[in-house]
Amino acid sequence: MNTTVATTGTEGKTWGGGSQPLKASYGKMMMWFFIVSDALTFSAFLAAYGFSRFKFIDSWPIADEVFTHVPFFHGNYPMIYVAFMTFILIMSSVTMVLAVDAGHHMKQKAVTWYMFLTVIGGLIFVGSQAWEWNTFIKGEYGAVQTKGGNILQFGEYVDVDGEQKFKRVAVADFVKGGHGERTQHQSKNGIWYVSEGILPEYTIEEVYNGLAAHENVLVRNQILNEEGEKTVLSREESLKQIKDNGTLVVHGANLKVNEYGSPLFADFFFFITGFHGFHVFSGVVINIIIFFNVILGTYEKRKNYEMVEKVGLYWHFVDLVWVFVFTFFYLV
């Protein structure tokens, strides 16, 4: 008995894309899937940062006052080094484009040089970010944290081109002394299961006495005024805030305290820039592997440089993410 089966022309074509769906190889498709998923992750982090900043907009640190350092130069250079880091990363993306283009034309020597320049750019960026982290953690001026967790900074008015401007003053510039003979509590010399953190360089009493002895030094809190600047307190209010509300002298920033303002800013800074830095570092490692494969002629034997193109997609993504991180943390 013969059975007639109606055909629709789709038998055996459940996946019509074959080995190159959407005219792309399997490897490229998987890289694009990874990039899209990673982009959603970064978007969630930056969205959380944006909501938190909006909630504490009146007390959020001012980027131009936080990122002012340049290696080997002492002074106030707002955003200069961060701009340099960004330029280096973008230029490394340019060299990656040139490497991919050279690969399309099967120019091994050109690919080698452009990949080498890309790796150098990535290493400079990662090293710069490590230096920036160290500077951010170490701090420069110091501040006093209040009972409510707010930050009180110190400074004085100076004449700049005929205009009075508030200039930060380091705690060490007007406070003398230290914690003296006070012994740091450790589990071996106190309660057996408790160890104390690092002792602050100065006590609140020493800061108060130093402030009282320097009439030109004032305190400003982290609340922004109508001009977008932090509020400078009067002489009397400055002494009162330190005496009544000061609890701890802090230097730099970590996951607990932040001399620049809200500790939440430091939390997001370390997490998001660290997460991005890990991506850049991973990209550098992958680029180095690809670089040596190019030298060994691996892709010449394969008759294509698709691996360079795939790692290039990842590198461009990392650069694009930094543009958003740079905008959110440093420009806005």
| Angle between helical axes of 108-138 and 274-296 (0-180°, round to 10) | 160
Q: Give mean pLDDT, residues 252-275.
A: 92
What per-residue confidence (pLDDT) applies to 160?
A: 79
DSSP bridge pairs for 156: 167
- Domain 24-140+264-331 adopts which CATH fold? Four Helix Bundle (Hemerythrin (Met), subunit A) (1.20.120)
**Residues 275, 129: contact at Cβ < 8 Å?**
no
CA distance 263 to 63: 14
Q: Give mean pLDDT, residues 275-280.
A: 96
The H or E element containing residue 277 is helix 274-296
Residues written for the chain? 332
Question: Which of 178-182, 244-248, 307-311 is predicted least confidently?
Answer: 178-182
Question: Which of 156-165, 233-242, 311-320 is predicted least confidently?
Answer: 156-165
Q: Give mean pLDDT, residues 119-148.
A: 93
CA distance 22 to 32: 12
φ, ψ for residue 164, nearest 5 deg: -80, 120
pLDDT, tens digit, 9 for 90 and up, residues 135-193: 999 988 999 999 888 899 999 988 877 788 889 899 988 987 555 554 555 555 555 55
Residue 269, number of CB atoms within 10 A of its CB = 22
Domain boundaries, the chain: 24-140+264-331, 143-251
Q: Give mean pLDDT, residues 7-32.
A: 64
Mean pLDDT of the chain: 86
